[in-house]
RNA sequence: GAACCGGUAGCUCAGUCGGUAGAGCAGCGGUCUUUUAAACCGCUGGUCGUGGGUUCGAGUCCCACCCGGUUCACCA
């Protein structure tokens, strides 16, 4: 296997030597003025006719097919905007260029100057007049249209995947379009984009285990952030009334089709708003993203589809619970019985934890959505303001689509005394590094200086992109998902 | 972290009951000036994930480990 790979790359190494022997640089140089292949293909293409030459074009890209043969050869040239056929005829190019054509391997990068037109069969084609060798590929590429079947192979060779799997490049573009739409939308609403630290002394704002590192000069442990929340709320205290960040967060947890250890979150905060403000904003934001992709508001997702047509459905957590679990979420005896029926271990668990587990097991999967689920059990939400008429309920919503949580928002807790208290309560039950509420005295101090009442929103960008681009695994909306390193 | 499924040529894959390791494409050598996954003739290419074990004989059976996938668990 290693021998064979060596054989194939040795053949390429030998061709490299032959290219060099022709006086050409196998690693190429600056090549200006190429037109994207996608643009070339839009030019009028008449059948080749020496009496009426077509437009002269220059293109650059990767050789992805090569139909060899006698004195006429066809190649296909790929760039990120498309593919075009090259036709090379022995009497239309220099002797050197003809030798080069016969040395080309799949994967080599070349520039071409020639005449654009159509062959007898109507295939859009550049008839080469001059070739410029730009770079050698020393490794064999997968045979175009065959290769790239194996997910691990695609992930470990993403640079090939981008070339040979059109969806991979398409999704990369769609992801950028979504993120750009989010920024434009929020900028248009007067939000200020900021960048806050990735290295935290206390990894707060979410329930997750952090990655740990160490700062040498200060000789202190530091954690990669697991959320953007706490620094952004400090900015609310500082008078930045509308603020957002799109940033990478890191959670030292398992990997799955929906989880990568580093992923991208949008968090935003708006002073003097609340969770209803956030609901309206979320709806507008997501519809803007859907519209930006230009595929209509009903989007396929696997076998299903989702209609992102506002207004989205809104449903109370307690009502959904009653509907799907069959009892009142405040009825401790009934909840315990329901948990037992679902084979959820109830021992030692707080009532609200059982409620949430039942909700996850029995309700979430039924939420085709998009649906805003609102008013959560308060003890699950240590950073959220309670309802003014019912302290057992927190002003929080999550947006669900096909059982997936797309967004999470709440009316921010700005009472420093209550905040300190909920931090301490959460700490009691869970290991410190897993608690949602790690005691962050500096954050409490910030609140003590007065944070305006506010609404806040978090959106998992990767999952949003998955849903909007019909991608079943997070690995394909992240260009380089984490894999165990391989020699 | 657990269970299950998978790993065979550069790529995609077959390999029956344990009996000489296969195909297509790629590659190499030919023929060919309008091909379209070009075609045709010939050839090369393998530590069957790794290491042990059983056996006269292991890609195939057993054990351990490595890598990936899926489902759990945790979460977004």
Tens digits of residue pLDDT in A290-305: 999 998 999 998 888 8
- Nearest nt to A251, CA vs C1'? B75
Residue nearest to nucleotide B47 (CA to C1'): A1
**From the CA of A61, how many Å to the C1' of B40?**
31
| Residue A6 pLDDT > 70 | no
Tokens at A50, concatenated: 């020496």
Q: Does A318 reside within a domain?
A: no
Beta carbons within 10 angstroms of residue A20's beta carbon? 14
Phi-psi region of A239 (alpha: psi -120 to 50; beta: other; left: phi over 0): left
**From the CA of A160, how many Å to the C1' of B15?**
29
Q: Tell me, yes or no, whether A129 and A221 share the same domain.
A: no
Cβ contacts of A194 within 8 Å, gap of 6 or more: A232, A235, A240, A243, A244, A245
Burial class (CB in 10 A: 0-12, 13-18, 19+), A199: exposed
Assign residue A243 the CATH number of its domain.
Answer: 3.30.930.10
A224 and A210 Cβ atoms separated by less than 8 Å: yes
Q: Tell me, yes or no, whether A169 and A256 share the same domain.
A: yes
Q: Tell me, yes or no, whether A13 and A65 share the same domain.
A: yes
For residue range A182-220, what is the model confidence (pLDDT) as tens digits?
Answer: 999 999 999 999 999 999 998 888 888 889 999 999 999
**From the CA of A2, how many Å to the C1' of B18?**
28
Q: Does A323 reside within a domain?
A: no
**CA distances in angstroms from A88 to A85, A97, A117, A225, listed in the order given:** 10, 9, 13, 56
Q: Tell me, yes or no, whether A417 and A373 share the same domain.
A: yes
Residue written as tokens 């704002």?
A205
Helix (H) or strand (E) holding A464: helix A461-468
**From the CA of A360, how many Å to the C1' of B4?**
24
| Of A140-154, A219-233, A246-260, A320-334, the least confident | A140-154
For residue range A359-418, what is the model confidence (pLDDT) as tens digits?
Answer: 888 888 888 879 999 999 888 788 889 999 998 899 999 999 988 889 999 999 999 998
**From the CA of A144, how many Å to the C1' of B28?**
20
Tokens at A418, concatenated: 């209550």
- Domain that residue A55 falls in: 2-141
Q: Tell me, yes or no, whether A303 and A421 share the same domain.
A: yes
DSSP code of A191?
P
Q: Does A364 reside within a domain?
A: no
Of residues A394 and A437, more confidence is placed in A394
Q: Does A317 reside within a domain?
A: no
Phi-psi region of A327 (alpha: psi -120 to 50; beta: other; left: phi over 0): beta
For residue range A8-48, what is the model confidence (pLDDT) as tens digits?
Answer: 888 999 999 999 999 999 999 999 999 999 999 999 999 99
pLDDT band at A336 (very low <50, low <70, confident <90, very high): confident
Q: Tell me, yes or no, whether A122 and A28 share the same domain.
A: yes
| Residue A1 pLDDT > 50 | no
pLDDT band at A433 (very low <50, low <70, confident <90, very high): low
pLDDT band at A437 (very low <50, low <70, confident <90, very high): low
A401 and A387 Cβ atoms separated by less than 8 Å: no
- Computed over every residue of chain A, the mean pLDDT equals 89
| Residue A427 pLDDT > 80 | no
Tokens at A64, concatenated: 């992805």
Q: Does A320 reside within a domain?
A: no
d(CA A460, CA A182): 12
Q: Does A326 reside within a domain?
A: no
**From the CA of A486, how many Å to the C1' of B66?**
10
Q: Does A461 reside within a domain?
A: yes
Average confidence (pLDDT) over A262-280 = 95
pLDDT band at A86 (very low <50, low <70, confident <90, very high): very high
d(CA A129, CA A150): 39
**pLDDT for position A143:** 75
A345 and A322 Cβ atoms separated by less than 8 Å: no
Q: Which of A141, A175, A208 is the last residue of a domain?
A: A141
Q: Nearest 10 degrees: CA dihedral of A2, A7, A8, A13? A: 120
- Nearest nt to A260, CA vs C1'? B76
| Residue A144 pLDDT > 50 | yes
List chain B nucleotides near protein: any atom < 7 Å from a Cβ.
1, 8-13, 24-28, 31-39, 44-47, 66-76
**From the CA of A163, how many Å to the C1' of B16?**
39
Instruction: Residue A209: name the closest of A267, A259, A245 by CA.
Output: A259
The CA-based diameter of chain A, rounded to the nearest angstrom, is 91
Q: Tell me, yes or no, whether A134 and A215 share the same domain.
A: no
Domain total of chain A: 2
Q: Does A421 reside within a domain?
A: yes
Please provide the distance, in angstroms rounded to a whole number, between the alpha carbons at the two ends of chain A: 15
Helix (H) or strand (E) holding A406: strand A404-411
- Nearest nt to A6, CA vs C1'? B10
Residue nearest to nucleotide B1 (CA to C1'): A254
**CA distances in angstroms from A74 to A56, A101, A157, listed in the order given:** 18, 10, 27
Q: Tell me, yes or no, whether A195 and A258 share the same domain.
A: yes
Cβ contacts of A412 within 8 Å, gap of 6 or more: A233, A236, A269, A383, A384, A385, A451, A453, A454, A455, A456
Residue written as tokens 């009691």?
A428
Helix (H) or strand (E) holding A447: helix A441-448
Write a three-state SS string for A232-283: HHHHHHCCCCEEEEEEEEECCCCCECCECCEEEEEEEEEECCCHHHHHHHHH
Instruction: Residue A114: name the closest of A39, A35, A38 by CA.
Output: A35
Q: Tell me, yes or no, whether A227 and A123 share the same domain.
A: no
Q: Tell me, yes or no, whether A285 and A429 share the same domain.
A: yes
Residue nearest to nucleotide B33 (CA to C1'): A72
Residue nearest to nucleotide B28 (CA to C1'): A11
A374 and A316 Cβ atoms separated by less than 8 Å: yes
Average confidence (pLDDT) over A56-76 = 93
Phi, psi of A177, rounded to the nearest 5 degrees: -65, -40
- Nearest nt to A463, CA vs C1'? B76
**From the CA of A159, how many Å to the C1' of B4?**
32
| Residue A322 pLDDT > 80 | yes
Q: Tell me, yes or no, whether A63 and A187 share the same domain.
A: no
Assign residue A27 the CATH number of its domain.
Answer: 2.40.50.140
For residue range A448-463, what is the model confidence (pLDDT) as tens digits?
Answer: 999 999 999 999 999 9
Q: Tell me, yes or no, whether A175 and A136 share the same domain.
A: no
| Residue A4 pLDDT > 80 | no
pTM of the model: 0.90
């Amino acid at each position: 296997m290693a021998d064979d790979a060596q054989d194939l790359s040795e053949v390429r190494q030998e061709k490299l030597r032959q290219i060099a022997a022709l006086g050409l640089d196998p690693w190429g140089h600056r090549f200006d003025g190429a037109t994207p292949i996608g643009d070339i293909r839009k030019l009028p293409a008449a059948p080749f006719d020496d009496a009426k030459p077509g437009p002269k074009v220059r293109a650059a890209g990767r050789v992805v097919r090569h139909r060899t043969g006698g004195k006429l050869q066809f190649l296909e040239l790929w760039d990120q905007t498309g593919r075009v056929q090259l036709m090379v005829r022995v009497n239309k190019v220099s002797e050197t260029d003809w030798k080069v054509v016969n040395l080309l391997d799949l994967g080599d990068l070349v520039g071409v100057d020639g005449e654009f037109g159509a062959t007898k069969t109507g295939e859009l084609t550049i008839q080469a007049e001059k070739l410029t060798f730009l770079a050698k590929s020393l490794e064999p590429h997968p045979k175009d249209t065959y290769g790239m079947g194996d997910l691990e192979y695609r992930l470990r060779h993403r640079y090939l995947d981008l070339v040979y799997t059109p969806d991979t490049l398409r999704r990369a573009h769609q992801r950028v379009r979504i993120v750009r739409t989010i920024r434009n939308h929020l900028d248009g609403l007067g939000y200020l984009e900021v960048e806050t630290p990735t290295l935290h002394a206390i990894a707060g704002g979410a329930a997750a285990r952090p990655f740990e590192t160490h700062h040498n000069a200060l000789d202190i442990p530091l954690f990669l952030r697991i959320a953007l929340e706490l620094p952004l709320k400090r900015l609310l205290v500082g008078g930045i009334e509308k603020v957002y960040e799109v940033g990478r967060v890191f959670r030292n947890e398992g990997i799955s089709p929906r989880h990568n250890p580093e992923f991208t979150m949008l968090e935003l905060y708006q002073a003097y708003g609340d969770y209803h403000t956030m609901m309206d904003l979320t709806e507008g934001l997501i519809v803007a993203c859907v519209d930006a992709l230009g595929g209509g508001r009903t989007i396929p997702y696997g076998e299903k589809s989702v209609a992102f047509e506002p207004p989205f459905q809104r449903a109370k957590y307690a009502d959904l619970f009653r509907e799907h679990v069959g009892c009142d979420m405040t009825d401790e005896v009934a909840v315990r019985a329901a948990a037992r029926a679902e084979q959820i271990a109830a021992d030692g668990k707080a009532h609200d934890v059982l409620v949430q587990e039942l909700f996850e097991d029995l309700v979430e999967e039924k939420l085709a959505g998009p649906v805003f689920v609102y008013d959560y059990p308060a003890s699950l939400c240590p950073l959220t303001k309670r309802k003014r008429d019912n302290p057992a309920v927190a002003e929080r919503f999550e947006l669900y689509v096909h059982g997936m949580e797309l967004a999470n928002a709440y009316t921010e807790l700005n009472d420093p005394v209550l905040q300190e208290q909920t931090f301490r309560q959460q700490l009691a039950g869970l290991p410190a590094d897993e608690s949602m509420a790690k005691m962050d005295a500096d954050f409490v101090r910030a609140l003590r200086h007065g944070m305006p009442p506010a609404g806040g929103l978090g959106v998992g960008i990767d999952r949003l992109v998955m849903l909007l681009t019909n991608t079943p695994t997070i690995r394909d909306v992240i260009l380089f998902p984490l894999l165990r390193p391989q020699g």
